[in-house]
Amino acid sequence: MSNAPHPLMMPSLVLGTFIYTLDSTIAAVALPHMQGTFSANQEQVAWVLTSYIVMSAIMTPMAGYLADRLGRRRLYLISIAGFIVTSVLCGLSVNLEEMVLFRILQGAFGAAMIPLAQATVLDVYPPDQYGPAMAMFGVGVMFGPIIGPTLGAWLIELYDWRWVFFINLPVGIIAYLGASATIPASRHEDRARPFDVAGFAYLSIAIGSFQLMMDRGNGLSWFQSTEVIVEATVSAVCLYLFIVHIFTHARPFVTPAMFRDRNFTSASIIGFAVGFNMMATMALLPPMLQHVLGYPVLLIGWVLAPRGIGTMLSMLLVGRLVNRVDARLLIFIGLLISAASLAVMTTFDRYVSVELLVYSGLLQGIGVGFMFVPLSSIAFVTLAPQYRNEAAGIYSLARNIGSSIGISVLMGSLAVFHRTNREQLVPHVSPFTDVLRYDEYAYLTELGGERGYAVLDMIVQQEALMLAYIGDFRTMTLITLACIPLLALLKSNVARPVPA
């Protein structure tokens, strides 16, 4: 576009994406409090998170089609308005059924916000400004889930768990007013585009079944459960049908031609791998700090906060470098920093200092910032503009699916590591064990009967659990390093977009 973007457009988009991504983690802090309010068990209250994730995943690919039919600007305003209203309804819920229903609607309205905002940024800013623009946009995408536990803990401590949803109201209204006044209409729309019912159905069922399988697999012992087998089968069959469909249908729900762009396809694969580790860390650390180290909720929030600060600062720095330095080099640096932070986490024990926790989190945040900006820029720099609405949705979906798999796999391996570690530790515990001679454990020899065994078992459980977390951090370190060869799939970002 010839006109410069409105100075308030980017802050409005950042606020909108911030409240959407914030809700992916902030609600997790409130789950124990909701469990008491709604008199639900742990598995039931987990649907507060599952329903939001599943519906968001299903509706994300829909963003491209709806943007073509309704117009990107109109759809974004509808999305953010619906998200605000459903957030308030979540806070006002009186039972678990209402909460899950409103979380489903919240995920449905919010799913399009990130791909629409990203496509808008790519349309409005020229290619030589993609780096700084994506850095500002990335603050909203990445800072939300990272700061979620901190903000949630603070709101619950000072007010009530319902405020983790009410906080979206003032921020959302500001974002809506700013977006309505500054977002221009899209230049690439196809209002006559027919709706591919079969394609959408295949993809939705595949994603929904897969998300349910990943979310419930740990609790059901994976493929020992009939439910998990059914969900996996349905997902695989529908995914196969979807792939066949898009290559044989005249106007498919997802245009396969965009995957011919090497940078977009490669960046989506790397984004999937990065997402695997990124959100898994945020899922592992809060329970480790609470159950192993005994930190109160508010302190956990403050310990995790530097991770968000590191992400924000590195994004702003990389935004200035991405047009001067090969994006692949910046991603490489980000992967190395992230691997280093995870390597630091493998040195944790039950007496780890707050300083080391903060340092590792700050380091990981810096690494994430180094990866997100150049990866998002290089993904779209050579992609034809008419594919941006669809491509932004698929790119977001790849990262989210990676996050979902990462959380489920690493939570599952945590349980396996915990059980294995306990089995290995127990035979070495006896009144003659050297560790029981230390002053802090000396009292155990004076405790008799069941009381002594109970205390000793608790210590063994904590040690086994701490070692399990270390095992997961070691696995994540190796996965991060394994992403480095994938950079060879990317072309340099010196290329310019294909003309419209």
Q: How many CB atoms lie within 10 A of CB 458?
A: 10
Rounded CA-CA distance 256/263 in Å is: 14
Question: Measured in Å, how far apart are the chain's first and last C-alpha atoms?
Answer: 12
pLDDT band at residue 376 under the 50/70/90 scheme = confident
Out of 234-248, 383-397, 475-489, pick the least confident.
383-397
> 477 or 49, which is more confident?
477
pLDDT at 324 over 70: yes
Topology annotation, domain 254-500: Growth Hormone; Chain: A; (1.20.1250)
Q: pLDDT value at position 498?
A: 42
pLDDT at 174 over 90: yes
Question: DSSP 3-state helix, strand, coil percentages of the chain (rounded to 5)?
Answer: 80, 0, 20
CA 83-401-310 angle, 5° bins: 75
Q: pLDDT value at position 487?
A: 86
**The two structure tokens encoding residue 245:** 């469909």
pLDDT at 44 over 50: yes
Rounded CA-CA distance 215/360 in Å is: 27
Q: pLDDT value at position 106?
A: 92
Which region holds residue 257: left if phi is over 0, alpha if psi is between -120 and 50, else beta? Answer: alpha
The mean per-residue pLDDT over the stretch 305-309 comes to: 82
Burial class of residue 448, CB neighbours in 10 A (0-12, 13-18, 19+): exposed
The mean per-residue pLDDT over the stretch 482-500 comes to: 67
- Mind listing the pLDDT tens digit for each residue in 75-123? 889 999 999 999 999 999 988 889 989 999 998 898 888 888 888 887 7
Contact call for residues 478 and 273 (beta carbons, < 8 A)? no
Question: For the CA atoms of 495, 498, 499, 500, what is the dihedral angle to 10 degrees?
Answer: -140
**What pTM did the predictor assign?**
0.76
Which DSSP category does 322 fall into? T
pLDDT at 53 over 90: no
What architecture is the 1-187 domain classified under in CATH?
Answer: Up-down Bundle (1.20)
> 375 or 440, which is more confident?
375
Task: Say what percent of the chain tops pLDDT 90.
Answer: 15
Q: Where are the domains of the chain?
A: 1-187, 196-252, 254-500
**The two structure tokens encoding residue 266:** 């490669």
Indicate the average pLDDT of the chain: 81
Rounded CA-CA distance 400/27 in Å is: 17
- Mind listing the pLDDT tens digit for each residue in 395-423? 888 887 887 778 778 877 888 888 888 88
Rounded CA-CA distance 133/120 in Å is: 11
pLDDT at 283 over 80: no
Domains 1-187 and 254-500 in one fold: yes
pLDDT at 16 over 70: yes
Rounded CA-CA distance 114/133 in Å is: 14
pLDDT at 499 over 50: no
- Mind listing the pLDDT tens digit for each residue in 251-261? 787 788 888 88
